[in-house]
């Protein structure tokens, strides 16, 4: 099946710092999605990207669909304690009928 | 509020019990999904329903039995589960079963004792 490599696996940062995480794939994707999961809750969609090169913001979050269509990154600026959680990337491969593939997640800890 | 509601949020069951998880979506979507999330593992797709028909079953043991009576409701019937089945079970929905943007419910935490 398709593999998504998400990095880093975990991050420990100070409040106010910027954060960057990314996902890469060996194959071409049509869609990239970024989700955040709080402890004990389901993943919540943060940003959806549908075109190569697309750069989309949602408040302090910015995500980009890589030009090669094989990667995406998510940036969080000026982190705050409530940014704590697990961030997942997900992508839909170009192959017809393929399902969303999820990364293994980035665990973010923000120290006040 | 994501528009996908799951009940119960927490369930503890013995290995001989029969229980069900329920999911309801208020988004007007026509595809629904069950995912399993275990610690330190990627999300595992279990079942996909499109317009109430099962279109995918990813080699899930028969002790998990899905039911989709209409496009807004999805159930996961559980019987004779094993302790390793303890996990967070997530329901999701999308506008089409190719599922390029899916929306998750809050999850049902299942503990099998």
Q: What pLDDT score was predicted for residue B56?
A: 76
Report the length, in residues, of chain A.
112
What is the distance, to the nearest Å, from the Cα of residue A79 to the centroid of all Cα atoms in its chain? Answer: 15
Q: Which two tokens stand for residue A17?
A: 């710092």
Chain A nearest-CA distance from B108, in A, is 9
Placement of tokens 């019937």 in the chain: B77
Mean pLDDT confidence for B62-77: 95
Residue whose C-alpha is closest to residue B8's, from B29, B27, B22: B22
Confidence (pLDDT) at A93: 87
For residue B57, name the pLDDT band (cuts at 50, 70, 90). confident
Helix (H, G, I), strand (E, B) or coil at A81: helix
**3-class DSSP state for residue B85?**
helix
Residue A110: both structure tokens together: 């923000």
Nearest to A42 among B42, B45, B107 (CB): B107
pLDDT confidence tier of residue B99, bands split at 50, 70 and 90: low
Q: Are A42 and B104 inside 8 Å of each other by CB?
A: yes
Task: Residue window 8-37, chain A: list those with CB within 8 Å of chain B.
Answer: 30-31, 33, 35
pLDDT at B96 over 80: no
* Residue A63 at interface with chain B, using a CB cutoff of 8 Å: no
Confidence of residue B50 (pLDDT cuts 50, 70, 90): confident
Number of other CB atoms surrounding residue B110 within 10 Å: 21
| Rounded average pLDDT per 10-residue block, chain A, 112 residues | 84 97 94 93 94 96 97 98 96 81 94 91
Q: Each residue of B65-91: b (16+ CB within 10 Å) or e?
A: ebebeebbbbbbebeebeeebbbbbbb
Apex A82 CA angle, B111 and A34, nearest 5: 75
Q: What is the pLDDT of residues B19-28, one digit of tens each?
A: 999 999 999 9
Between CA B32 and CA B51 the distance in angstroms is 9
Residue-level pLDDT at A2: 58
């Amino acid at each position: 099946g398709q593999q998504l490599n998400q990095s880093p696996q975990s991050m420990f940062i100070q409040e106010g710092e910027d954060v960057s995480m990314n996902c890469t794939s060996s194959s071409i994707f049509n869609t990239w999605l970024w989700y955040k999961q709080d402890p004990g809750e389901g993943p919540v969609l943060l940003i959806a990207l549908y075109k190569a090169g697309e750069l989309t913001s949602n408040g302090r979050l910015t995500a980009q669909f890589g030009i090669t269509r094989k990667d995406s990154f998510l940036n969080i600026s000026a982190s705050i304690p409530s940014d704590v959680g697990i961030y997942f990337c997900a992508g839909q491969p170009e192959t017809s009928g393929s399902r969303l593939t999820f990364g293994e997640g980035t665990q973010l800890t923000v120290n006040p | 509020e994501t528009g996908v509601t799951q009940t119960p949020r927490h369930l503890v069951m013995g290995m001989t019990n029969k229980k069900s998880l329920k999911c309801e979506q208020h988004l007007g979507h026509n595809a629904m999904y069950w995912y399993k999330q275990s610690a330190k593992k990627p999300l595992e797709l279990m079942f996909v329903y499109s317009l109430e028909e099962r279109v995918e079953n990813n080699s899930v043991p028969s002790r998990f039995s899905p039911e989709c009576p209409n496009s807004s409701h999805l159930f996961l019937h559980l019987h004779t589960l094993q302790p390793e089945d303890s996990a967070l079970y997530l329901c999701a929905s999308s506008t089409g079963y190719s599922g390029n943007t899916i929306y998750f419910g809050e999850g049902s935490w299942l503990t099998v004792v």
